[in-house]
Structure 1
């Protein structure tokens, strides 16, 4: 029996991979054979520690991950990786795939992995569809899409001040600029 090579990944630097690392160690992966990418998206096919984990695999070894989404987002990439490992004489083991431990070295494990990879990609595409639909609806309704707030020049604030001094309600002028009345008054005060 070959070695178990563990791989863990978190998408942002603020996230912790501790739970994944603990699960991999509990599954029999030695700490020396553990590779962790911090702040790396699963959408990228190549990742620094992932590449090192793949390079460490030899015939008879098994790449161990905790969940399918740690491996990637694209069914094509996941299936390509599974084939690449099989051709190299290595296997892939997912510790929690649909509540079970799946090893691609068996025909059943390979089939389950293929189905779950397709489902993972479908789930991602459904989420993208929902987000796009939500943004489209908010945009057409004139809703706030978030993002960085506009920066107003001193000239724009002076024009707003003139409108207020001419009798326009400050709340309406502020609303037209996309800011609160208090913010408008603060900006006017900084000009004086």
Structure 2
């Protein structure tokens, strides 16, 4: 008797307000039986423990395939994704991503396995580039003395005058500015813009 290979479907939404209907529809259309469908609600991809994901993985037998709609349902880091795909391979199970690089990728095939590795690496690279851009943007804005967002502390003219007196008395302007939570350029601008007292 030939063993029946199952498709085990997994869907995840990060917040309880989101619904997984679209993912579920796509998984059912791909041939996953409703009984073999696992959905995590309100669980972030960065979390190590995802209860339904753990159950889906535990349900996999040799020859079975875990089916997900997109790569980010698995997690955030390429290293984790690739390690997970390798773990499945060692167990004789496969991974199928319905929408990866515009197509359906199955790691049971050599081509699918290669495409998965490349796409996982690209997803990670995209994340790193985004992170780098944000860090770079914050550094540039900080250097230019610009607002970095968040709640801006407001200082009265009298507080700025006190800061100016400290600088005149020999305290380093950079230190005074840092203590006030602003850049040196901003401190100098505020001192320059003080109304002339009569």
TM-score, normalization: structure 1? 0.73
Q: Distance in 2 between matches of 1:124 and 1:15?
A: 23
Match of 2:76 in 1: 73
Q: Distance in 1 between matches of 2:67 and 2:49?
A: 17
1:137 alignment partner, SS class: helix
Match of 2:45 in 1: 42
Offset of 1:130 from its aligned partner?
1.0
Give the direction of change, closer, same or farther, for the CA distance of 1:11–1:134 in structure 2 (3 Å limit). Answer: farther
- Tell whether 2:62 aligns with 1:23: no
Q: Distance in 1 between matches of 2:126 and 2:132?
A: 10
Match of 2:102 in 1: 99
Question: 143, 148, 153: which one pairs with 1:145?
Answer: 148
Offset of 1:21 from its aligned partner?
1.2
Match of 1:82 in 2: 85
Residues 41-190 of structure 1: matches in 2 within 5 Å? 41-148=44-151
Unpaired segments of 5 or more residues in structure 1? 161-192
CA RMSD of aligned residues (A): 2.4
TM-score, normalization: structure 2? 0.71
Q: Distance in 2 between matches of 1:34 and 1:81?
A: 19
Cα-to-partner distance string for 1:142-171 (whole Å, 9 max, x where unaligned): 333333566x9xxx99x99xxxxxxxxxxx
Q: Distance in 1 between matches of 2:57 and 2:43?
A: 16
2:58 alignment partner, SS class: helix
Cα-to-partner distance string for 1:71-96 (whole Å, 9 max, x where unaligned): 11211111111111111111100001
* Count of aligned pairs between the two proteins: 157
Q: Distance in 1 between matches of 2:121 and 2:73?
A: 15
- Tell whether 2:7 aligns with 1:4: yes
Give the direction of change, closer, same or farther, for the CA distance of 1:144–1:28 in structure 2 (3 Å limit). Answer: same
Give the direction of change, closer, same or farther, for the CA distance of 1:120–1:140 in structure 2 (3 Å limit). Answer: same
